[in-house]
Amino acid sequence: MHPALSIILFTTLSGLGFGMFCWLGMGAVPEAARQAAAIVAFGLCSAGLSASTFHLGHPERSWRAFSQWRSSWLSREGVMAVVTLGLSVPWWFLAYPAWLGALLAMFALVTVYTTAMIYAQMKSVQQWNTPWTPVVFVFMSLAGGGLMSALATALVDSVSKGYAIAIALLLIVAWAAKANWWRRADSDIEISDTASATGLADGGQVRMLESPHSGSNYLLSEMGFRVGRRHSRTLRRIALLAGGALPLLVLALSLQFAGGATFLLLLAILLHLIGVLSERWLFFAEARHAVVSFYE
């Protein structure tokens, strides 16, 4: 599918912001830095959600999506995002009560899950239609939010070894899950063809007499994006290196040089962000919608 910048920014920034709210709600950030961290988390969530509207044909009608929460994961994501951001306000004004923080963390995590399910429930895109999709989204969010929260902590206090180990484990799980997601996308799924797309597979060989359209159209431009295998492999290596391996190394170094922890954690966040942006670009670019089979 076409890797639209608006959707890449939406899933990346909102995931980072809601991941921060998970850590903030659990009280992982010292109170001296909690207010600033909450403002950053709120800004990241808002920026991501705002970016998503630019992918709509009529952004001014985006409010209508909230009415379909019974059947649409997109609508559920919107509702959960508003509820989570709404909870963050009394949590801040009431001086961070633990019970409300736990509720905020839970809703933030559910919001990320609903974002992932927008794609995971699409049977027409077989690469996305797997339980591994929400696993990747949730753990990427928690890992990125953990790095952001660690940076906020480092501004007022030292980051404990246990804190760093928890973030490191989340990074390892997130990228191990993504590696498995890629393995499945490469080998374990059955790519649809013209026969399965038309439902005529039992009748023998199926071939198209002519193209459904004589010229370019929305389906081909939006659903028929292709990325070369060589470029795909290169970007996967960049994503794994920048998003996982290097942040782990920098995180370990930050524990050795307390005076440079802030700079090193900022570097780890930037590297992780590069990796996640690469991963999200590939998430859309490598996806193959079943409708493309009608044009082959």
**Tens of pLDDT, residues 181-193:** 999 888 755 566 6
Residue 223: pLDDT band with limits 50, 70, 90: low
SS3 at position 289: strand
The angle at the Cα of 104, spanning 267 to 179, to the nearest 5 degrees, equals 45
pLDDT of residue 72: 81
**Predicted model pTM:** 0.87
pLDDT tens track for 49-65: 888 777 665 555 555 66
172 Cβ neighbours under 8 A, 6+ residues apart: 244, 248
pLDDT tens track for 73-99: 888 898 999 999 999 999 999 999 999
113: region left, alpha or beta (phi > 0 left; psi from -120 to 50 alpha)? alpha
Q: What is the CATH number of domain 5-200+208-295?
A: 1.20.1630.10
pLDDT of residue 232: 83
Domain positions in the chain? 5-200+208-295
- Residue entry with tokens 């009748």: 203
Per-residue buried b or exposed e for 123-160, using 16+ beta carbons within 10 Å of the residue's own CB: eebbbbebebbbbbbbbbbbbbbbbbbbbbbbeeeebe
Q: What is the mean pLDDT of residues 27-49?
A: 93
- Residue entry with tokens 């933030």: 108
Taking CA atoms, 56 is separated from 61, 63, 83, in Å, by 9, 11, 22
pLDDT of residue 231: 77
pLDDT of residue 165: 93
The helix or strand, by DSSP H or E, that contains position 296, with its residue range, turns out to be none
Taking CA atoms, 219 is separated from 2, 191, 207, 213, 291, in Å, by 10, 18, 20, 10, 8
How far apart (Å, rounded) are the C-alpha atoms in residues 135 and 142? 11
pLDDT of residue 196: 67
**What percent of the chain has a predicted confidence (pLDDT) above 70?**
80
Share the mean pLDDT of the chain. 85
How far apart (Å, rounded) are the C-alpha atoms in residues 176 and 171? 8
Q: What is the mean pLDDT of residues 195-201?
A: 68
pLDDT at residue 153 is higher than 80: yes
pLDDT of residue 163: 92
The angle at the Cα of 44, spanning 279 to 269, to the nearest 5 degrees, equals 55
